[in-house]
Amino acid sequence: MGSTSEGDHGFAGVGRRALIKRSAALGLVSVPAMSFLSACASGGGDDTGAGTAEGKTSKGNPFGAKKGSKLDVVVFKGGYGDDYARAWEADFGKKLGITSSHTGTQEITGKLQPRFNAGNPPDIVDDSGAQKINIDVLYKNGQLLDLAEVLDAPSVDDPARKVRDTLIPGTLDPGMQEGKIVALNYIYTVWGLWYSGKLFEEKGWQPPKTWDDFLAICKDAKSQGIGGLAHQGKYPYYINVALMDLIAKKGGLDAMKAIDNLDPKAFVGSDAAQAAAEAVYEVVEKGYLMPGTNGLSHTESQTRWNQYKAAFITCGSWLENEQLKQTPPDFDMKFLPMPPLSGSALPFEAIRAGSGEPFVIPSKAGNLPAAKEFMRRMLSKEWSTLFAKQANSLTILKDGVDPGVRLRPGTQSTVEASKAAGDHTFRYLYTEWYGEMGTALEAASNELMARRIQPKEWLKRCQAAVDKQAKDPASKKNHRD
């Protein structure tokens, strides 16, 4: 989940209601099953790719993108909007004479699943959001192009270097399936806590460097009628940012990899996991959560936090752009690495960082040369700066933003946090690799936050999810060292 706009799902099925009523009037009692069944059936279709539209290759056009051809772009319109993509497409048309058809949508699955199935997918897709098609699923079906060709092409800014060498190290990893890069996670994201610089100044709080400092601020906030920690309870993905970050910091990278590698002692038997669960549970038990936060959606709780109803919130760096309209002008949004528990293996500065928002090129795209060229240009300084301006976020291109561009305070603080972190970054991959296990971990965390289970039970449930995933024969191919 690179960025999120989950609030809207479910609405796709609305039209069915009218259908059901009408059909029921005809005496078709079995209609609900029917409408699902017909959703189930694929359109069939042939599996032949159509890699036409090949033009002449040249130094500035290594893939031979053909002038006058068309490019079909589908972009997830979530926390980052889709203005940046329109700006790119306009530039692409101007420079290469290739016009684009643009689709900005939150319903990636609904719009694209039938097209993938029928063998006529778009040329380039930002496959993100709550309704993304999971990358592992697409990959297993042979629908994704191996991006090595793009990554080994000469960079737009410096033709002497390969595109691959102009990126922030490690940012390609999450797009890897069985050793091949099949998704370009374009946006550089950091995850952690966020606070309002203004509120902290008013209250005289210092950004906490340790978990105890964090608890002290929560306590003080509570005594003044403000919530301590807010989280996007309806989507337990977010509280797992806190829980999993604490595990990684406490136990180091091995504790993190144990989860990704489905270790039989990833949770039960892991001191780091136990310490993290107990720490977060303490926040719940002491009443430091913003009241009601467990049941709020991401926009609801983030907006409450913007109204100074809570000191901290967990989120990734899409937060600033997503909340642009709700944030007071003097809010002074700031990023904070997760404050570590005592005796942590990683320092305070360490952050969960990496790339999100996967862009993919379908292997059966109609205009492959133009799609590859488009992706190559995404990794140019010009387009990276366009993105930073339009979407208030960084890209995986090293120093990818023109120094003349002034960033918003939250984005600026993530730049500083990344610099301070240096090599101390970590990144979970189970969220990309194992959708079903991720869901089970989230469900368990929600129960923990609602005080329906204790840390011990949480560990057991998480371990059960890991063990279940480990038994699935399809899980064996993913491993990280």
Partner 1 sequence: MRKGQYRFVTGFLLVPVALYLIFVIWPYIQTIGYSLTDWKGQSQTFRFVGLDNYRALFQDDIFLEAVWHNILFLIFIPVITILLALFFAFMLNAGGRSRAGGVRGVEGAAFYKILYFFPQVLSLAILAVLFNAVYRSDGGGLLNGLLIKTGLVDADNPVEWLNEPNMVLWALMVVVVWHGVGFYLVLFSAAMQSIPRDIYEAALIDGASRNQSFFRITLPLLWDSVQTAWVYLGIVAMDMFVLVSAMTQNMGAYGGGPDHHSDVMSTVMMRNFLYYGKSGYACAMGVVMLLLTLVLSVVTLRATRRERIEF
Interacting residues with partner 1 (CB under 8 A): 6, 9-11, 13-14, 16-17, 20-21, 24, 29-34, 36-42, 44-45, 47, 109, 113, 116-117, 119, 130-131, 133-134, 136-138, 140-143, 233-237, 287, 290-297, 300, 304, 435-436, 438-439, 442-444, 446-447, 450, 452
Q: 116 or 214: whose CB is closer to partner 1? A: 116
Query: Which phi and psi (to 5°) does residue 436 adopt?
Result: -70, -40
Full 3-state SS string of 136-153: HHHHHCCCECCCHHHHCC
Query: String of b and e for 207-241 (b: at least 16 CB within 10 Å)?
Result: bbeebeebbebbeebbeeebbbbbbbbbbbbbbbb
Question: Smallest distance, Å, CB 427 to partner 1?
Answer: 20
Least separation in angstroms between residue 14's CB and partner 1 is: 5
Please, what is the minimum distance in Å from the beta carbon of residue 133 to partner 1?
7
Tokens of 113: 């699943």
Does an H or E element contain 356, and which? Answer: strand 351-360
CB 123 within 8 A of CB 366: yes
What tokens does 141 get? 């079906």
* Of residues 117 and 210, the one with the C-beta less far from partner 1: 117
Q: With respect to partner 1, which residue has the nearer C-beta, 179 or 225? A: 225
CA 330/CA 345 separation, integer angstroms: 36
Q: Which is nearer to partner 1, 168 or 361 (CB)?
A: 361
**Least Å distance between CB 144 and partner 1?**
10
Closest CB to partner 1 among residues 34, 87: 34
Instruction: Return the number of the residue (345 or 464) whose C-beta is nearest partner 1.
Output: 464
Segment holding 34, helix H or strand E: helix 31-40
Question: CB of 76: closest distance to partner 1 in angstroms?
Answer: 14
Looking at residue 317, its amino acid is: S
Residue 83 C-beta: closest distance to partner 1, Å: 26
Q: What is the DSSP letter of 424?
A: -
